[in-house]
């Protein structure tokens, strides 16, 4: 019988090459596909083209705090998250779980235990339908297909969004009714938080989504704080 996990894609965010090699090897033995990211930036770059089933995130990264990397990952993806940490502080682990991690493993770890945790997260997410294969977001009469960036209007007209617009709308539909800071909404291509790229993108999206772009009902500006996507989002599967 074919292992149900075989072929699942796991991104490993770990700056220590020795630890990364051990994890990649043991996950490979169990049929998983792995991609190694050496840093938080590397992870965010990979997420532009890859849709992992799960990410293993080391909290001690060279370029950003692992919790920060995880938060940004959560904004872009509904994949499972396993924290890997040498930090024994309970507060870090609690914070990680509150920020959306599914589980954590303390270093040093037993490789087979890590695999067991990975499989249990994938199992749990499959049984609750949160495995990331729900890629059609429905809100306020609209349908947005995250698999092909197609936006279907309530009147049945469909259009394909640019990659940048689709990334932005993807973050909104995954995080409805929450204030999102401008920095959180920026893709990795926008390196300068002071530039207006994000605002330009917001107004483009508003022109597509809002009947009255100057008094927006869906994408609200929260002055001094960021933006808020006000809608109830239902997720459907396209497959």
Interacting residues toward Ca ion by CB under 5 A: 15, 58, 60
Q: Please calculate the CA angle 217-218-220 and round it to the nearest 5 degrees.
A: 80
- Cα gap 142→161, rounded to integer Å: 13
- Cα gap 173→234, rounded to integer Å: 9
Q: CB 66 → Ca ion: shortest distance, Å?
A: 8
Expressed in percent and rounded to 5, the helix, strand and coil fractions of the chain are 35, 25, 40
Q: Which of 189, 207, 211 is nearest to 198 (CA)?
A: 189
Q: Which is nearer to Ca ion, 60 or 111 (CB)?
A: 60
Q: Which is nearer to Ca ion, 15 or 138 (CB)?
A: 15
Q: Which of 220, 132, 236, 234 is nearest to 177 (CA)?
A: 220
Q: Which is nearer to Ca ion, 15 or 210 (CB)?
A: 15
Q: CB 62 → Ca ion: shortest distance, Å?
A: 8
Q: Which is nearer to Ca ion, 54 or 56 (CB)?
A: 56
Q: Which is nearer to Ca ion, 62 or 211 (CB)?
A: 62
Q: Which of 22, 2, 5 is nearest to 119 (CA)?
A: 5
Q: CB 58 → Ca ion: shortest distance, Å?
A: 4
235: tokens are: 């997720």
Q: Which is nearer to Ca ion, 10 or 57 (CB)?
A: 57
- For residues 46 and 37, the answer to whether their CB atoms sit within 8 Å is yes
Q: CB 16 → Ca ion: shortest distance, Å?
A: 5
Q: CB 60 → Ca ion: shortest distance, Å?
A: 4
Q: Please calculate the CA angle 227-140-204 and round it to the nearest 5 degrees.
A: 45
Q: CB 67 → Ca ion: shortest distance, Å?
A: 13
């Amino acid at each position: 019988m074919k292992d149900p996990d075989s072929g699942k894609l796991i991104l490993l965010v770990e700056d220590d090459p020795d630890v990364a090699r051990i994890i990649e090897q043991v996950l490979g033995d169990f049929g998983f596909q792995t991609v190694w990211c050496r840093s938080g930036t590397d992870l965010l770059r990979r997420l532009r083209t890859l849709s992992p089933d799960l990410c293993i995130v080391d909290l001690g990264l060279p370029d950003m705090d692992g919790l920060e990397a995880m938060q940004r990952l959560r904004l872009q993806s509904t994949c499972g998250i396993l924290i890997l940490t040498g930090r024994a502080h309970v507060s870090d682990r609690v914070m990680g779980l509150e920020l959306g991690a599914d589980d954590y493993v303390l270093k040093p770890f037993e490789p087979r235990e890590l695999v067991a945790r990975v499989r249990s997260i994938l199992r749990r997410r499959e049984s609750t339908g949160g495995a990331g294969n729900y890629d059609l977001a429905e809100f306020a009469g609209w349908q947005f297909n995250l698999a092909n960036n197609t936006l279907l209007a309530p009147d049945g007209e469909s259009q394909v969004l640019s990659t940048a617009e689709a990334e932005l709308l993807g973050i909104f539909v995954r995080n409805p009714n929450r204030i999102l800071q401008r920095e959180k909404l920026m893709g990795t291509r926008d390196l300068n938080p002071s530039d207006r790229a994000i605002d330009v993108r917001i107004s483009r999206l508003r022109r597509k989504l809002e009947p009255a772009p100057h008094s927006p009902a869906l994408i609200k500006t929260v002055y001094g704080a960021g933006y808020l996507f006000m809608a109830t989002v239902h997720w459907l599967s396209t497959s």
